Amino acid sequence: MAPEPTPIAVHAPGGYDLAEGARWVDGRLVFVDIPTGRLLELAPDSPHTPREILRLDVPLGAVAPVAGRPGHWIAAAGTGIALLTPHGPVRWLARPEDDSPVPTRMNDGVCDPAGRFWAGSMSHSGTVPGAGSLYRTDPDGSVHRVLSGLTVANGPAFTFDAALLYLADSATATIHRLTLDPDGNPTRTEEFTRLADGAPDGMTVDTEGCLWVAAWDGAAVHRYHPDGALLDTLRLPTPRPTSVCLCPEGGRLLITTARQGLSGDAGPAGSILAVPVDAAAPPAAAFRMH
């Protein structure tokens, strides 16, 4: 007898063009809608109705909270890395993609457990080979290009000791695994896996060290063992999942999706989906600004 399909619910409707960057912060889900520059939340008092936290006039790729400063964020936005406050102006730490030979923007980003912020970039079209890079922002606010020659740098995710970094290049359907030294410098880079269907997008690591991957144009989320073996595939009712967030209390996976580039019946494209799972992950790591 075939196993029962996993029940998938629309947790929050929205029809977002490109919802991304799902993170668990202070007891609620936060996520971005990249092209509109919006940061949104699903607060405990309204868990199924997204609420806007802030809006930028440039694409907003992803954010991470700033430790000890409620309402403050570090962001991959526009052509660089910025600090955002509840009411003050944007403070740019660096705009390294201002000098790119093709129009380029920042994409997905996340903090590692050591409190450093990592974010990738890509051409606006997503089709220019080698236009993307990976950047690391240290607690002193300095921004460093760690890798270049990527096309669509996506979904950085870390093991809990900050020793391993998973990085997707969506355009090549490849997930790389980088070994890092204590200062966050790569000492080894290897191919972890390559998707046969769809492109790897947002990712997260669960408490067992397994990697969860949203498969853009694959209508699925995959879970991989640290040795690279595919453990499970969750089939979704819409083709473009963009990021994944495991709730810290366990038992639930939240998935952002996109309607960008889709026409006709694309199911609940642009909504936030919820799936019961037997897994958990810690809340999003914070930026430990000096």
20 is in an annotated binding site: yes
188 is in an annotated binding site: no
C-alpha distances in Å from residue 221, one per residue of 196, 201, 250: 13, 10, 17
SS3 98: helix
C-alpha distances in Å from residue 146, one per residue of 72, 120, 136, 157: 25, 10, 7, 15
Residue 143 forms beta bridges with which residues?
Answer: 137
Domains and CATH numbers, the chain: 9-276 (2.120.10.30)
227 is in an annotated binding site: no
Q: Which two tokens stand for residue 202?
A: 């947002």
One digit per residue, the tens of pLDDT, for the chain of length 290 reads 444 567 899 999 988 999 999 999 999 999 999 999 999 999 999 889 999 999 999 999 999 999 999 999 999 999 999 999 988 899 999 999 999 999 999 999 999 999 999 999 999 999 999 999 999 999 999 999 999 999 999 999 999 999 999 999 999 999 999 999 999 999 999 999 999 999 999 999 999 999 999 999 999 999 999 999 999 999 999 999 999 999 999 999 999 999 999 988 899 999 999 999 999 999 999 999 98
Give the integer Cα–Cα distance in Å for 165 and 24. 19
Contact 42, 272 (CB under 8 A): yes
Contact 42, 12 (CB under 8 A): yes
Give the integer Cα–Cα distance in Å for 73 and 216. 26
| Alpha helices per DSSP H over the chain | none
154 is in an annotated binding site: yes
How many C-beta neighbours within 10 Å does residue 263 have?
A: 7
201 is in an annotated binding site: yes
Virtual torsion, Cα 156, 234, 225, 215, nearest 10 deg: -30
Give the integer Cα–Cα distance in Å for 67 and 4. 42
Query: Reading across the β-sheet that carries 117-123, which strands appear in turn?
Result: 104-111, 117-123, 132-137, 143-150
Residue with tokens 């919006």: 38
For the question of residue 201 being annotated catalytic, the response is yes
Give the integer Cα–Cα distance in Å for 118 and 105. 14
- Which of 201, 227, 232, 278 is catalytic? The answer is 201
Give the integer Cα–Cα distance in Å for 139 and 126. 30
